[in-house]
Structure 1
Amino acid sequence: MTPRGTTAVDEFDVREYARTARGSHRAEIDGEAIAEAGLTPDAVHLLRVLRDLERGTLDRMRNLLVTATHKDARVTAFLATWAFEKYWVADALDVVLGAVGADTTPLSGPLRKSATERAERRGPVRRALAGNIAGEDIVAGHVTTGLVDELITQVAYRRLGEAAAALTSLVATLIAVKDRHVAFLAEEAEHKLAASARAVRLTRKALAQAAWPIGATEIPASDRTFFETFVFGDAEGRTAAARIGERLAALPGLGAEGATVTARLAP
């Protein structure tokens, strides 16, 4: 492994990432063709869930930046562009929903209550207090949970593309956007977990408390169940969940966590 203070040939270039950030996708969306082809109710439902998850980026940013993560210049530089790109991903999903005349209002309904996810419902003040106690090692937990989240949403977008041929091109574009998110988060998780046993412990705790995908605590219970079943409920989905678990298990100190995350993803 290349020491953090040196330059690796394949190190993620945050400056180049910011320079080449993907903005609006509207010009690439053929609304008339999508409307003519139509979307199944399940495809529309998945679009709405993904749109709401992508829209939750600012809440996620707030939760991260009240902790020591805001002191990590490399991570915060990435997050600024990451949030910009996710805003436009959500906008693209809204355009598609509008093209087929689907409901574009946020999902609403009773939320799922789980004791293991209680920490995910903490407000910024409590997160700041907990984050200050954890210190800079908490950054490892943030980039690792972020990595798992991006891998989950990539699977969801692939399932969307399979369910709606009219969205194949757009889905490929959105997955490519997320490929760079995955690349950065995987690199940072590797570095930070390898550098600190305490970071590994805090990351294990964060993984145990996380609601998947991140932001799911604000998605109605019935819509969360739909997402889990549609994305991971069949043999193909369970295979995808296992691959996410394997990717996580390969990170320093997280071998056992891979199977746990896989089990939580696959209903």
Structure 2
Amino acid sequence: MTVDLTADPSAHADDDRDRTTRARTAEASSPESAASPRPVGTPDPHASMPTAGRYAGHLHFDETITPVLRTDFDVEAYTKRGTSRIAVDTELLASQEPLRDQERLALAVLQRMESSGLAEARTMLSTVTANEARITAFLATWLVDRHWQSRALRDLLTGDHPVERPAPSRRPSRLAVLRRLHVDRVQPLLTPLWNAAAGEPVAAGHMARMAIQEASLVAGLDAIARRLGGEAERVVRTVRARQEAAVDFFTQEAIGRITRSRKEAVVARLVLSLGSPLHGGGVPDPDLDAALQVLGADPRDRAGLHRARREITRLLPGPDLPDAHLLSLPRSGA
């Protein structure tokens, strides 16, 4: 076989293109092609592509797609600010007055709620909420913040012990055990159905839940800080200061979604009715009610705990949506 190395390869390419064009023309003019034209009334999808406005050039973007919610919270600045472990001077802490039993109990409940960040994020990111770029970007840094905040409270209770964790003083109820089984084994199976039923508005429910949880943590930290002194008070107030960014983000996201759409408000109410935001990771803490009696002993602290929830629930349709755990607190001063 002899190959002509002097031949122009572009000539062969032109011949190939000509043959392809003739084949397509013949196919279009064939009887079979004429017998099966485009169905009448079926529009060309590319003809409907927006050519102006914010959806220009995007075939699948139109007014049926919920626009991205943008609040005043600067997610980019939050993710770039960095975070680090909150140092606890355990030697100084050991030399000061030890924590009383009531304070240890309340701090342990707050610590376990802080440590539930990963479980809360799993619940959010396993649904269509994960499609929200601002939310997922925020959660990536928020999870690190939650870890170090939880670790700081743990160090107050265990003295920076490498493996010891603050454990509940009470055994979980049968209902709590069933709830744990539901969260671990049943809920992941129901997530696809939840996505199909609720759709995009489920993000409003998640933001409402987390707004209440974060604000409740702040109210609880404020309450316990007033009962402490020395190194313990400093650490708690440092944790509380870091918590402020999460309160701002989730509250702005929740209010923005609830107020722009009745459907999102209805879904948010449904999410809050399925479980208390005070249940870290969706599972009630056995010591929660006892801790609330400590954290809500002062009228202004009770008011703060109620306000953390009311800030969101006041915007929801229907009657008031109370939290059963808060109903056990005295009403005076709240």
TM range (shorter): 0.7 to 0.9
Match of 2:152 in 1: 92
2:123 to 32, 38, 63: 63
> CA 1:220 to 1:149, structure 2 compared with 1: closer, same or farther past 3 Å?
closer
Across the aligned residues of Structure 1 and Structure 2, the Cα RMSD in angstroms comes to 2.8
1:35 to 94, 110, 121: 94
In the TM superposition, residue 189 of structure 1 has moved relative to its aligned partner by 1.0
Within 1, Cα distance between the matches of 2:277 and 2:100? 24
Match of 1:107 in 2: 167
2:261 to 180, 183, 196: 196
Matched, 1:237 2:301: yes
Match of 2:213 in 1: 149
Identity among equivalent pairs (%): 24
TM-score of the superposed pair, with normalisation by structure 1: 0.83
Match of 1:184 in 2: 249
Tell me the alpha carbon deviations over residues 60-83 of structure 1, each in whole angstroms, 9 at most, x when there is no partner: 111111111000111111111111
In the TM superposition, residue 43 of structure 1 has moved relative to its aligned partner by 1.7
Within 1, Cα distance between the matches of 2:213 and 2:126? 20
Instruction: For residue 199 of structure 2, give the secondary structure of its aligned residue in structure 1.
Output: helix
Match of 1:22 in 2: 83
> CA 1:64 to 1:6, structure 2 compared with 1: closer, same or farther past 3 Å?
closer
Instruction: For residue 123 of structure 1, give the secondary structure of its aligned residue in structure 2.
Output: helix
In the TM superposition, residue 226 of structure 1 has moved relative to its aligned partner by 1.4
Match of 1:161 in 2: 225
Stretches of structure 2 that go unaligned for 5 or more consecutive residues are 1-66, 329-334
In the TM superposition, residue 137 of structure 1 has moved relative to its aligned partner by 0.3
Q: State the AA in 2 paired with 1:160.
A: I
Match of 1:83 in 2: 143
User: Structure with the greater relative contact order (CA < 8 A, sep ≥ 6): 1 or 2?
Assistant: 1
In the TM superposition, residue 113 of structure 1 has moved relative to its aligned partner by 5.2
Runs of 4+ in 1 over 4 A off after TM superposition: 4-8, 117-120
Match of 1:265 in 2: 326
Which protein has the larger Cα radius of gyration, Structure 1 or Structure 2?
2
Within 2, Cα distance between the matches of 1:220 and 1:171? 20
In the TM superposition, residue 265 of structure 1 has moved relative to its aligned partner by 1.6
> CA 1:62 to 1:242, structure 2 compared with 1: closer, same or farther past 3 Å?
closer
Q: State the AA in 1 paired with 2:242.
A: V
Conserved 8 A contact 2:109-2:285? no
Tell me the alpha carbon deviations over residues 76-100 of structure 1, each in whole angstroms, 9 at most, x when there is no partner: 1111111110011111112222229
Tell me the alpha carbon deviations over residues 123-151 of structure 1, each in whole angstroms, 9 at most, x when there is no partner: 32223431332111000000011000011
Structure with more helix by fraction: 1
> CA 1:129 to 1:6, structure 2 compared with 1: closer, same or farther past 3 Å?
closer
Question: Would you say how many aligned residue pairs link Structure 1 and Structure 2?
Answer: 254
Match of 2:271 in 1: 206
Q: State the AA in 2 paired with 1:15.
A: E
Conserved 8 A contact 1:147-1:186? yes
Match of 2:132 in 1: 72
Tell me the alpha carbon deviations over residues 209-251 of structure 1, each in whole angstroms, 9 at most, x when there is no partner: 2224131754542x12212211235533332233224422454
Conserved 8 A contact 2:117-2:143? yes
Which 10-residue stretch deviates more, 70-79 or 228-237? 228-237
Within 2, Cα distance between the matches of 1:237 and 1:266? 14
Conserved 8 A contact 1:34-1:100? no
Pairing of 1:219-234 with structure 2 (within 5 A): 219-221=284-286, 223-234=287-298
Within 2, Cα distance between the matches of 1:5 and 1:138? 14
Within 1, Cα distance between the matches of 2:281 and 2:139? 20
Q: State the AA in 1 paired with 2:292.
A: E
Tell me the alpha carbon deviations over residues 161-212 of structure 1, each in whole angstroms, 9 at most, x when there is no partner: 1222122222222111111101111111122112221111111111122224
